[in-house]
Structure 1
Amino acid sequence: MLKQCRAVLERELFYMWRDKSLRYILLVGPLLGMLLFAGVYSYQRIGNIPTGIVDLDNSQASRQVVSELKNTQNLQVAAYYDSYAQLEESIKRGEVIVGVVIPENFGKNIALHRQTKVAVFIDGMNMAYATNASSAVLTVTRTYGAQVGIQTLIAQGIQANQAQEAYQSIAFPEEAWFNSTLNYAYFTVLGFALNVWQQCLTLAACMTIIGENGLSSWLQIKASGISSPVLFFCKSVVHIAVFMLIVLPLYFLAFVVFKLPLACGWLNLLSFTLIFAIALHSLGTMMSSISRNAVNATRYGMIIALPAFVISGFTWPLEAMPQWFQHAAWFLPQTWFFQGINYLTFKNPGWGFMSHYYLVLGLMAVLFYSAAALRLMAEDFLPKGEMM
């Protein structure tokens, strides 16, 4: 029995290594993805957002507004325009992302304590730019609005400290937890790299059963007396072990080299990754069992792997999706994994919270492997009475 298992293990490792395309996909794909995403998000935050200004007043008050915009961390005043039309054309061409129009008589209205408006336009084509630009502009408007309000109260005879207290009577201090600097790299790099990893895993797992069709060694295995359960169990062990070996360099780069946050211990991280790898392999095995050829198996795998990350709730909250979409997403192991990996790396909520993630992924593995075995029984691919 042990000799048979060893023979199958060695055979599967040989075939995986001999397949150059599979070898490069598994070894190079995830690592390249990690390095690529780490490079893309190396600045960690979006800053120096190009900003254009139209100052139709050119007063001391309007110049103070411009000064406040210049001193904002995430905005960079890139151009000045003489008219709204010029600013609009510049935003259309993508030369600036934010446009600020200070109206005529701005300084006069401020001096007379009249309400006035400063128009702010943000290019919403790129949501990452737009969100950060909106936050930066809001910071400026709050600060400058408070300064003007305090000056107005002082002009009405109120003491400076009383005027300041009037505007700061209720404080709303903001404090970001678990990602205090709101670092994009912390949030995206690991998730995107693991997405490449899970796609490669899905493709490899989809070859578990259908990959035996057409191989001359299949007849040799049958003749040797190795049972189908032993064969596919050993193949699965090899696949899952390879999957785990591939993810180790990713985690090393993420948490040791790039210093991404890791709230949980390595044992928790690896055990959760292992149960996901088993669940994902079981899903690929089931896809392999219903495929007529390797091409169809690959197609089925990509149909699942590509959109699974999008609907997992990692990049867009599940709660913001249609109700039926939310329910559908939880039927995929990727949703449980990417949700769980976020909790582990940022919060480490403990076993009491994470246990149901382990349980669901384990149940999925049992369900998908069982479905694959029943499918093979129905197709007479396995000898009667034998199951995987």
Structure 2
Amino acid sequence: MFKAVLVRELTYLWRDRGLRNILLWAPLLGVLIFYATYSAQTLMAIPTAVVDLDRSSASRDLVTKVDQAENLQIVARPASAQEAEEMIRRGEVLVTVVIPENFGRQVALGRETNVYIGIDGSNIIYSTNATTAAMTVAKTVGAEAGVKALMARGLSQEQAKNAYLGVEMREEPWFNPTLNYAYFLVLALILNVWQQCCTMAATMTIIGDTGRPSWLQFKLAGISKGTLFVSKSLVHIGLYMLLALPLYGICFGILKLPMHGSWLLLLLFTLAFVIALHSVGTLASSFARSPVDATRFGMIIALPSFILSGFGWPLEAMPAFVQSLAKLLPQTWFFQGINYFTFKDPGWSFALPYFAALGVIAVVCYSAAAVFTSRK
């Protein structure tokens, strides 16, 4: 009897063309879309305008350094700061560098001088990369000016370098040395599409049968609610895991996203998340009045969950009540954990609280779903 219900559920899922397309093709389409979007991996050639009001050899040297910066590309040389500001306003450039008059003279005398760098902050991705590139140029120019000022006071070049650069602070990003934005985001976005599809499908676990004549057939056949629920759940959970495996294979095998952790830990963690996710969808399905109702509940749960998970914006920076709400969702624990388990390999002891949280969510939601279902 148990085997017959399993086969019946698999057949039902495959014959439902809409559900089949959502589960099979939406995650794969997400892989193509997100990898194509972030395939450049780093932002290069950010359009930059330079206003040189000094036109000295020192200012020309600075312009050359700006143009040689890895992320910046000079595309315009307006005559005034006002003209450069208008170019940013129209979106023609994203960065403007204004070199003041007497820049070369001030540098030669070893005096403090200010170079204005304006960055379009309306696009945070561009502005962050542009700020990093501009500050790198400023640091280099400042160091060279400081060394030249010390040399003008009689120190040798080596002495000037040692005096000015006596304490050097060097950055070294760990786990993602190139600060590749695609490494950080692509896997999470793909898995977000996958979890949304799985959530939507899980909301049909109970209402998909109780709202159909097949429910009476099960009752007449003497199939218990427990047998029916367990068989349906095993099919769904197994299917969600089967869908996750090719996504991992594409991401880590073909797209070469970093995977420094344990494959066994990652797969078991994914299984724990799938069970918790299915329990949430089952709970929504238990008190839904119709399949349409269940789908709405699935959308309400799945769509905002990625935002609340703390992946795009740190969970610690959210209000306390939002943090408490987010920790009730399995997506929060999954997307927080997936970053650790792929990038950092923190070990099994670190993973235990994540497994425990997902287990508690599954037990609570399945239990509540059983109570709601028994009253129908």
Q: TM-score range by the shorter chain?
A: over 0.9
Match of 2:60 among 44, 60, 63: 63
> Is 1:132 matched up with 2:132?
no
Partner of 2:295: 298
Opposite residue 128 of structure 1, the aligned amino acid is I
2:255 alignment partner AA: F
| Partner residue in 1 for 2:196 | 199
Code of the residue aligned with 1:186 in structure 2: it is: Y
Deviation string, structure 1 residues 289-314 (Cα, Å, up to 9, x no partner) = 11111112111111111111011111
Structure 1 residue aligned with 2:104: 107
Name the structure 2 match of 1:385.
Answer: none
RMSD of aligned C-alpha atoms? 1.0
Q: Deviations over 1:86-138 (max 9, x none)?
A: 11111111111100011112112222322211110000011010001001000
- The reply to whether residue 48 of structure 1 matches residue 37 of structure 2 is no
Residue matched to 2:117:
120
Whether the 8 Å contact between 2:211 and 2:290 is mirrored in structure 1 is: no
Alignment of 1:320-339 (within 5 A): 320-339=317-336
The structural deviation recorded for 1:200 is 0.3
1:273 equivalent to 2:273? Answer no
List alignment gaps of at least 5 residues for structure 1: 382-388
CA distance in 2, matches of 1:186, 1:110: 41
Q: Distance in 2 between matches of 1:44 and 1:256?
A: 17
Return the offset for 1:178: 0.6
1:157-196 paired onto structure 2 within 5 Å = 157-196=154-193
Q: Quote the Cα distance in structure 2 between the aligned partners of 1:83 and 1:242.
A: 62
User: Is the partner of 1:81 in helix, strand or coil?
Assistant: coil
Q: Distance in 1 between matches of 2:135 and 2:343?
A: 28
Superposed displacement of residue 218, structure 1: 1.8
Match among 137, 140, 144 for residue 141 of structure 2: 144
Q: Does 1:14 align with 2:3?
A: no
Which letter does structure 2 place at the counterpart of 1:276? F
- Structure 2 counterpart of 1:309, which letter? F
SS in 2 for 1:76: strand
SS at match of 2:276: helix
Cα displacement string for residues 253-273 of structure 1 (whole angstroms, at most 9, x for unaligned residues): 001001111112222111110
For residues 264 and 111 of structure 2, what CA distance do their matches in structure 1 show? 63
- Correspondence for 2:309: 312
Partner SS, residue 47 of structure 2? strand
Shift of 1:335: 0.5
Instruction: Please report the TM-score for the alignment, with normalisation by the length of structure 2.
Output: 0.98
Aligned letter for 2:184?
F
Cα distance in 1 for residues equivalent to 2:277 and 2:2? 23
- 1:87 maps to amino acid: A
Alignment length (residue pairs): 376
User: In structure 1, how many angstroms separate the alpha carbons of the residues matched to 2:219 and 2:270?
Assistant: 34
> What displacement does 1:62 show?
0.7
Deviations 1:41-66 (A, max 9, x none): 11111121111111111111110110
Q: Secondary structure at the match of 1:236?
A: helix
CA contact (8 A) 2:280 2:365 kept: yes
| Alpha-carbon distance between aligned partners in 1 of 2:58 and 2:193, rounded to the nearest angstrom | 52
Counterpart residue identity of residue 289, structure 1: S
Q: Give the aligned residue type for 1:39.
A: A
* CA contact 2:265–2:348 (8 Å) conserved in 1: no
Which runs of structure 1 show a deviation greater than 3 angstroms over 4 or more consecutive aligned residues? Answer: none
Whether 2:215 is the aligned partner of 1:218: answer yes
Report the CA distance between 1:174 and its aligned residue. 0.9
Cα deviations across residues 134-161 of structure 1 (Å, max 9, x unaligned)?
Answer: 0100000000001011101111112221
3-state DSSP class of the match of 1:77?
Answer: strand
State the one-letter code of the partner of 1:339.
Answer: Q
Structure 1 residues 323-332 or 132-141, which shifts more? 323-332
Task: Determine whether 1:360 maps to 2:357.
Answer: yes
CA distance in 2, matches of 1:37, 1:73: 24
Distance in 1, matches of 2:167 and 2:105, equals 30
1:238 matched to 2:235? The reply is yes
For 1:124 and 1:170, the matched residues in 2 are separated by 32
> What is the distance in 1 between the residues matched to 2:52 and 2:201?
60
- Distance of 1:115 and 1:185 partners within structure 2: 39
Q: CA deviation at 1:220?
A: 1.4
> Could you say which residue in structure 2 is the equivalent of 1:282?
279
TM-score, scaled to structure 1: 0.95
Question: Among the aligned pairs, what percent are the same residue?
Answer: 56
1:25 to 22, 27, 35: 22
The one-letter amino acid of 1:20's match is: R
CA distance in 1, matches of 2:286, 2:242: 25
